[in-house]
Chains A and B, each alone.
Chain A
Amino acid sequence: MSGTLTLNKITAQRGISVGDAAKKIADLGWNPSYVQEAMTFPTDYKIAKAPKDPMKQVLRSYFPMQEEKDNRVYGALDAALRGDMFRNVEPRWVEWMKLFLAIIPFPEISAARSMAMVGRLAPGEDLRTGFTMQMVDEFRHSTIQMNLKKWYMENYIDPAGFDITEEAFGKCYATTIGRQFGEGFITGDAITSANVYLTVVAETAFTNTLFVAMPSEAARNGDYALPTVFLSVQSDESRHIGNGHSMLMSMLKEPENHLLLERDMRYAFWQNHAIVDAAIGTFIEYGTTNRDKAKESYAEMWHRWIFEDYYRTYMLPLEKYGIKIHHDDVQTAWKRLTEKHYVHKVAQFFAVGWSANFWRIEAQTDKDFEWFEHKYPGWYAQFGDFWKWYEKLSHRGQTNILFNGDVGYVYPHRCWSCLVPCLIREDMVTGEIDGKLYTFAHELDRWTAVEAFAGEYQGRPTPAMGRFSGRREWESVYHNVDIADAIKDLGFVRTDGKTLVAQPHLRFDEKEMWTLDDVRGHILKSPLLTLREMSPADREKHLADYRKGFTINPCN
């Protein structure tokens, strides 16, 4: 049979190859000679070698591709409404989306802004298109996520919390962790923040748990909108990973960068673990109603994506370029997730503070207990009674669990570095910055705040490095304030002026909903300010007791 006739053969004309196109586009830049570009984002790194663009990216194909991806996303959202998705969705899950979607659009748009920083630092123009696309991608992610949140607000049974979302983001004691994440992309040394922290670690390692694991769990809870949006978001990440890796390779060429890279890989890995695992681990393990024992736990997924994929295939090979990799940190993070129940302690902390949140947290039940014990042996002994207490105290008229002495929970110190509290009590350390005492969740957090974020690192001046600042300990903002007044000040009250946005249950019934009067009469304290006020002897005793941990009383 002779060759078939196709439309392509009739209409085809000679075109330029993708490689050629990318090469010509890379030639758009030049070295200015009349006025130099202002180097407004300083770095302590030296970058002499122009990074290559492995993806050979061109806007001509990028925009239609992204539009097509968008069409699928918005088509799926329409289909979800036609299919009455919300009739079958699990409210336990959607409630946690109030927290997740309050946080994530800011880190996303921060990533767009950070492209300005790396775009100007990278010599040559090869990668500029890659950075441009990433900038527009991140603009996509931020606004597509805001749109998804609006969609939940319009269609989910309880819109409260979604309706104050960006205000809540700026104020909540839980979103402060997400702010640390997002600000980390845009502040301080431009390479530390925009390349190592954002691209080399957050995007390359942790977007898998963020944007792949989360959607899987969403689908198990009847929410197929989140997977549609976030898998589409994740499909942009491979390009970002390429950008980051290319930039990293050009920095590796300069031996004097190696010490800084070692520092930044260490900081970025540890803090991404502390923040992303705290948040995403909680959403996945505690926001779900699906207790299929055959599915992977968060820890198991972490092992696959972070340990096997990222650590073994991305971090380890950096050693051959002379970068010291801190293997122990990865092992320590793994142990925190498994033996030390990091995620469970975070969920417990969020639950204790439910009244100052802006979403509902439902108690875990027997069905959940069985799954947790199966996946995390020893879980029930540590957390079973706590969740029974939580359920018991979820009814109006009970004393708020945050202040209820019967439970046995001890409110934690806040880590000055990752802003997640010092939940693994035995690992808590203290340190000083400019003569002031601070608390840290782990020695690596202390190292981050005290040694890495400083003007000098191991004898080398690091004038571009950022500093930890602001009122980082959320609790100090409301030190000695009645919780009801704090909640009111936060704006976490419904429009009737009395009912709390947050509720410790999923009972959508006004009679069951807690009001300001139900929580009034208890005073918030800053653990840090309290610690500083103690005499040295009292402080030592307090810290020793704190490190011993606490025991939840039996709940009958």
Chain B
Amino acid sequence: MTAVQSIPAKSGAAGAAIFPDSDSRKYRYFEPRSKRATHYEDVTVDVQPDPERYLLQDWIISFPNGKGAYTKDNTAALSSNWHAFRAPDQEWERTHYQRQSKIETMVQSVIANGRKSGAPKGFDKAWVKILQNHLGAWKHAEFGLGTSLMQAQRYGYTQMINNATLTNSSYKLRLAQDITLYLAEIGMDIPGFDDAAGKRMWLEDKGWQGTREAIESIMGSADYLEQYLATNIVFEPLVGELFRSGFLMQVGSPNGDFITPAVISAAEADYERNLANTIDLMHLLVTDNQHAAHNKKLFQGWVNKHVALANKAAAGLQPVWSQPHSKPVQYADVRAQSVERIKKILGELGLVLPKE
């Protein structure tokens, strides 16, 4: 026996003594998805307990209907293993703040530099109206999705699902605020800019009512997975990307605006991550060894419902494409792209795009 084993350890450091499990330096209560657990898995898996795993005494407080804090029937989807999901973006607090903070810094720098150079005054006049009315209305759509996902993150059966939904909500709410403050700031540089016009458009303009209806339908769903699917699998490709990438980002600079595309660009990167998370989760469910058929049917129903709403929303926005002086893209082209995009997404899940 070595000296280090025979005397009481003087040090509290790893390796100061050798005894059973003195080298057990990995969490050993869950199966990592790959050979080694990722940092994300270590800080996420099993923090939300489950009576079917380690919750020995079951949930110890219940709602008046007898249900515990988390139950599987918060969604109509079924899974033979809810714990299998790992978010591909591997987000935990540190990566989330790093990313959000960098975006905020970038957005603020772009706005500050743009304003310093007097850029907003050089925006095409018709474009200014578009920003005021339509980007102003759009911020409410982003906000609606953010609050809807904030609600949804309460319901998922595992920590992995809920945290992915939570960060999605955080990204959406950040974007809604970024747009709000951006418009308020350039509004100070543009005489006559009406900061309140966007909300009026959102609430009253005929063209925006389809979008508002689509958003409110997502907000009004009581099934958290329907909210998550409708947001990322349907609304985002058919309306979100269509309006952000297919309009704001491409039409801005030909109309003298290099700020808006940069402010909006972060949202597209956000969406890529959120889409990856959503597809991964939905893919697990449509390929579940027990419930694939049930889930596929359920999801196709949700897709049908929300695609109809999203199509109506996109059609309502069509006239916006004809409003700028410089029209580098046509609605029909970007719409065709967005239809291709959703087909690809649905194809990954074995779902089909309903006919219009």
Interface residues of A (CB under 8 A from B): 11, 13-16, 20-21, 24-25, 27-30, 32-38, 40-41, 58-60, 63-64, 66-67, 70, 74, 84, 86-91, 94, 105-106, 109-110, 112-117, 119-120, 128-129, 131-132, 135-136, 139-144, 146-147, 150, 153-160, 163-167, 169-171, 176, 179-180, 183-184, 186-188, 222, 419, 455, 463-472, 474, 477, 490-491, 494-496, 499, 501, 506-510, 513
CB–CB A58/B59 < 8 A:
no
CB distance from B67 to the nearest CB of A (A): 9
> Given the complex of chains A and B, what is the CA–CA distance between A164 and B151 in angstroms?
31
CB–CB B13/A156 < 8 A:
yes
CB–CB B8/A508 < 8 A:
yes
CB–CB A496/B20 < 8 A:
yes
CB–CB B174/A139 < 8 A:
no
CB–CB A466/B19 < 8 A:
no
Interface positions, chain B 210-235, Cβ under 8 Å from A, are 212-213, 216-217, 219-222
- In the complex formed, the residue of B with least CB distance to A136 is B170
CB–CB A86/B12 < 8 A:
yes
Q: Which of B61, B93, B199, B213 contacts A35, CB < 8 Å?
A: B213
* B residues less than 8 Å from A59 (CB atoms): 100, 104, 173-174, 177-178
Supposing A150-B43, A471-B57 touch, asked if A60 and B12 sit within 8 A by C-beta, the answer is: no
B147 at interface, CB cutoff 8 A: yes
CB distance from A298 to the nearest CB of B (A): 23
CB–CB B154/A184 < 8 A:
no
* A residues less than 8 Å from B216 (CB atoms): 32-35
Stretch at the interface among B180-188, B241-249, B286-294, B331-339: B180-188
* B residues less than 8 Å from A84 (CB atoms): 13
Q: Which of B19, B57, B143 contacts A510, CB < 8 Å?
A: B19
Supposing A143-B92, A469-B61 touch, asked if A30 and B199 sit within 8 A by C-beta, the answer is: yes
CB–CB B220/A166 < 8 A:
no
CB distance from A125 to the nearest CB of B (A): 9
> Given the complex of chains A and B, what is the CA–CA distance between A32 and B220 in angstroms?
9
CB–CB B14/A155 < 8 A:
yes
Interface residues of B (CB under 8 A from A): 5-6, 8-9, 11-30, 39, 42-49, 53-64, 66, 68-69, 92-94, 96-98, 100-101, 103-105, 107-108, 112, 115-116, 139-140, 143, 146-147, 150-154, 159, 162-163, 166-167, 169-170, 173-174, 176-178, 180-181, 184-185, 188, 195-196, 199, 202-203, 212-213, 216-217, 219-222
> Given the complex of chains A and B, what is the CA–CA distance between A157 and B116 in angstroms?
57
* A residues less than 8 Å from B181 (CB atoms): 16, 21, 24-25, 58, 60
- In the complex formed, the residue of B with least CB distance to A69 is B97
* A residues less than 8 Å from B173 (CB atoms): 59, 129, 132
Question: What are 28 A-B pairs at a CB distance below 8 A?
Answer: A28-B143, A30-B140, A30-B199, A32-B219, A38-B222, A59-B174, A109-B162, A119-B147, A135-B166, A140-B97, A157-B9, A157-B11, A157-B13, A166-B45, A166-B47, A169-B54, A176-B57, A180-B61, A183-B69, A419-B60, A469-B68, A470-B68, A490-B56, A494-B20, A494-B24, A499-B19, A508-B19, A513-B19
A-B pairs with the 6 shortest C-beta distances? A170-B54, A35-B220, A67-B101, A116-B154, A86-B13, A146-B43
Supposing A38-B221, A38-B222 touch, asked if A91 and B60 sit within 8 A by C-beta, the answer is: no
CB distance from A550 to the nearest CB of B (A): 27
